[in-house]
Chain A
Amino acid sequence: MTDQLSALNVLFTEFYYWVTVVLMFLIHVGFCLYEVGVSREKNKLNTLMKNSMLIPVITFGFFFFGWWLYFAVQNGPGITGGLKSAPWAEPWNELMGPHMGGAPAGDNLTSEETATWARLNGVFWAAFLLFSWTAGSILSGAVIERIRSGAFWLLAILVGCVTWVIDAAWGWSDAGWMVQKLGYHDAYASGVIHGLAGGSALAILIHLGPRLGRFRQDGTPRVFPAHNTWMIIIGMFLIYTGFWGFYAACNVPILDINPADNETFFSATTIYLTPTTLSGITINFLMALTGGLLIGYIVSKGDPFWTFQGGLGGIITASAGNDLYHPIQAFFIAILGVWCGYKLHYWVERRFKIDDAVGAVAIHGYCGTIGVIACGFILWGYPSSATAGYAPITPWGQLAGAIIMFVVLGFLPCYLAAWGLKRAGLLRIPAEVELAGLDHDTLILEHDHQLELAEAEAALGNQSTAEK
């Protein structure tokens, strides 16, 4: 921070991530609108509060242990090394608060660490935290109208602060063991967020069961009409916008990508420190959105819900390799993912009676997983990292990575946790309350207040007439 150019570099990077965090906040706004729009009138307040309150519960979990976990378990531990030291990410470390980057007050940090992390720790922490909220929100939509909020928040902490953080440490960091050993590549988190959260949602849905009345006696599903289509559509547009910010947040904005030579060359890089450009990923983002919207419209015969979901699914499918794909490749990969995701959604619904209220498992889980596997074929042979000696990208490395994301870290932990909550009688709302509506007591209270107000106004009117 002592010469203008290096100060500009640090302060620009700090500002860059800060902007991405603000943009990504829109993802959560979008999810709230979307979920409340899909829910029925009698459940909308409960749906809103269940999703909104995951902000504080995931935030405190991420502050206390999630951020540290990301750095600590990059080696497994036990696969490529032991537990890593990351003092700057410990909740009680001085670098978690405002810090000028000068000499450390404690003895567990070096001067280099304080100089590096003082202006980046908070914005990096926040960017990862927003990804954690997204992981929690993906679960939230699938389970609306019958899960208890307390149980949901515990599951959201498990996914948002533990399992997704472990998979990011393993497969979404420049030193993760999956990157080193499997050549795992997932630049914009097809698998590490969406595949994992989709697998988690599926596991919870199995224990939670469908909403009452969702399936007829012959096993065919009933449609629960959304209470506000406009909220869904505006929510989806906001999710797209926030996702754009997410793409920027996944990059390092300025880095010398030629450190081995004496000459320097600055570029944006992915989280694996491999070069890419904001320009390139912007085209790919929009072409994937385009492919997803088109196939969503075709396959659903113009249904607005699935068309907009298709746009999101298209971006999610292409995200694993959108740092390197040609835009036309991104376009066709998006089409493949959304077509498969849509078909799988209805097949699983009919075959296993899984009631995924918003299609989250399809759009996030199936599309994300398909995207990770497709990336292995399209980018076959590419280096997975800027570090020499790491495994290259291969279809089998990506397939193994997709299984780790969807099944090992996504499905299994949530299956066990939801089973435990169900056994404890904490998972599902009682049938009587579900039928009456989750907001029934609030609506009765509102009705009483309105009645009281009307009586008071009538009394005041009578008094005024009498005085005249």
Chain B
Amino acid sequence: MKPTIENWQTNPLEVGPIYPWAGLEILMVAAAALFCLYFLVWKLNSESRHYAQAVRQLTADSLSEGVSNQHEEHNDG
């Protein structure tokens, strides 16, 4: 692909954009927008999965803790 600037020895008043790939801005913006949308959807989904798993884990832990406490109380009794 042809660079946007090939020679700095030009009249600066005629120089506009100096970044590469000038003319492909819409494609670059679309790619970035898709990535950002993906991030938000990924975050909402992964967070829901994470908390569902955490609740299962914490409930199981508290159940087993409760059972072992009852065992201890029973044995002490």
Per the bound structure, the CA–CA distance linking A63 and B28 in Å amounts to 13
B58 A114 Cβ-Cβ under 8 A:
no
A102 B12 Cβ-Cβ under 8 A:
yes
Per the bound structure, the CA–CA distance linking A104 and B51 in Å amounts to 51
Contacts of B26 in A (CB 8 A): 92
B40 A150 Cβ-Cβ under 8 A:
yes
Per the bound structure, the CA–CA distance linking A149 and B45 in Å amounts to 12
Per the bound structure, the CA–CA distance linking A226 and B58 in Å amounts to 25
With most chain B CB atoms within 10 A of its CB, the pick from A96, A150, A154 is A150
B16 A105 Cβ-Cβ under 8 A:
yes
Per the bound structure, the CA–CA distance linking A343 and B40 in Å amounts to 38
Min C-beta distance of A118 to chain B, whole Å? 8
Interface of B is mostly: helix
Q: A430-B51, A433-B54 are in contact. Are A105 and B17 (CB under 8 A)?
A: yes
Contacts of A154 in B (CB 8 A): 40
Q: A60-B36, A149-B47, A150-B40 are in contact. Are A100 and B16 (CB under 8 A)?
A: yes
Q: A430-B55, A433-B54 are in contact. Are A149 and B43 (CB under 8 A)?
A: yes
Number of interface residues of B (CB under 8 A): 29
Select from chain A the residue with minimum beta-carbon distance to B4: A105
Min C-beta distance of A52 to chain B, whole Å? 14
A104 B16 Cβ-Cβ under 8 A:
yes
Min C-beta distance of A451 to chain B, whole Å? 18
Q: Using a CB–CB distance below 8 Å, which chain B residues touch chain A?
A: 11-19, 22-23, 25-26, 28-29, 32-33, 36, 39-40, 43-44, 47-48, 51, 54-55, 58-59
Number of interface residues of A (CB under 8 A): 37
B29 A97 Cβ-Cβ under 8 A:
no
B51 A94 Cβ-Cβ under 8 A:
no
Q: Using a CB–CB distance below 8 Å, which chain A residues touch chain B?
A: 1-2, 57, 60-61, 63-64, 91-94, 96-105, 114, 148-151, 153-154, 425-426, 429-430, 432-433, 436, 440-441
Contacts of A440 in B (CB 8 A): 54, 58
Per the bound structure, the CA–CA distance linking A63 and B58 in Å amounts to 41
Contacts of B55 in A (CB 8 A): 430, 432-433
B32 A148 Cβ-Cβ under 8 A:
no
B58 A433 Cβ-Cβ under 8 A:
yes
Contacts of B48 in A (CB 8 A): 425-426
25 contacts between A and B (CB under 8 A): A57-B36, A57-B39, A61-B36, A63-B32, A64-B29, A64-B36, A92-B25, A94-B17, A94-B22, A96-B25, A97-B17, A97-B18, A99-B18, A102-B14, A102-B16, A103-B13, A103-B15, A103-B16, A150-B43, A426-B44, A429-B51, A430-B54, A433-B55, A440-B54, A440-B58
A100 B12 Cβ-Cβ under 8 A:
yes
Select from chain A the residue with minimum beta-carbon distance to B5: A100
Contacts of B14 in A (CB 8 A): 102-103
Contacts of A148 in B (CB 8 A): 47, 51
Q: B47: which of A64, A150, A441 is its contact (CB, 8 Å)?
A: A150
Select from chain B the residue with minimum beta-carbon distance to A154: B40
Min C-beta distance of B50 to chain A, whole Å? 8
